[in-house]
């Protein structure tokens, strides 16, 4: 079953294998101290509500990171997320598989003064997604000799790939010189 990769993990992961984990960190107004951590896993891509008590009239910085974890766990799968100000890629370059939708992640950072009983946050992808488009895909699957069918596509990268992300500021980093040969 082929799915459109432009829909990302939300629509393409196998929900029998993965849960969507939300890490919600509420910082003080300046984003220097974590006031609360609210982590949760869900087994669908629907909107959800998380409740906590905050002081009306006070300003907080909300950071929400969402990624996929192995079903039934909360353990980091593809990213080290202990510190949302220093998220890094967990797996070695050799483990990358094209269109592995479980690598999709989502983030939002928003400074908000509490004036109402609820706030809404919309998450977006923090990383670019490489998408290979072919116009002869039908031919690949209908070849008489499956041994000659395309099974692997390697992309060589000449530039450095940023492998660290600060969800609090939106900054990317590559201070450790991460440069995979193939992704």
pLDDT class of 1 with cuts at 50, 70, 90: very low
Read off the tokens for 70. Answer: 């192995």
Assess contact for 106 and 125: CB atoms under 8 A: yes
- Please write the tens of the pLDDT for every residue from 121-131: 989 888 766 66
CA 173, CA 162: separation in Å to the nearest integer? 5
DSSP line for 27-91: E-TTS-SEEEEEEEEESSSS---------TT-EEEEEEEEEEEETT--S-SSEE-SSTTSEEE-S
Q: Return the pLDDT at 100.
A: 80
Whole-model pTM over 0.85:
no
Report pLDDT for 48. Answer: 78
Q: What does the pLDDT average to over 46-64?
A: 90
Instruction: Say what the pLDDT of residue 170 is.
Output: 87
Q: Is the pLDDT of residue 56 over 90?
A: yes
């Amino acid at each position: 079953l082929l799915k459109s990769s432009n829909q990302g993990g939300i629509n393409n992961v196998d929900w029998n294998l993965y849960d969507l984990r939300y890490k919600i960190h509420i910082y003080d107004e300046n984003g220097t101290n974590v006031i609360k951590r609210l982590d949760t896993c869900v087994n669908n891509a629907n909107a959800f509500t998380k409740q906590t008590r905050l002081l009306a009239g006070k300003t907080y910085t909300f950071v929400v990171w969402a990624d996929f974890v192995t079903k039934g766990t909360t353990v980091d799968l593809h990213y080290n997320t202990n510190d949302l100000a220093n998220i890094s890629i967990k797996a070695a370059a050799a483990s990358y598989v094209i269109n592995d939708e479980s690598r999709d992640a989502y983030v939002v950072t928003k400074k908000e003064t509490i004036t109402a009983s609820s706030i809404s946050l919309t998450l977006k992808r923090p990383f670019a997604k490489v998408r290979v488009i072919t116009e002869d895909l039908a031919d690949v699957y209908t070849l008489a000799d499956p041994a000659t069918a395309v099974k692997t596509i390697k992309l060589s990268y000449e530039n450095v790939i940023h492998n660290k992300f600060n969800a609090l500021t939106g900054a990317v980093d590559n201070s450790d010189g991460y440069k995979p040969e193939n992704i």
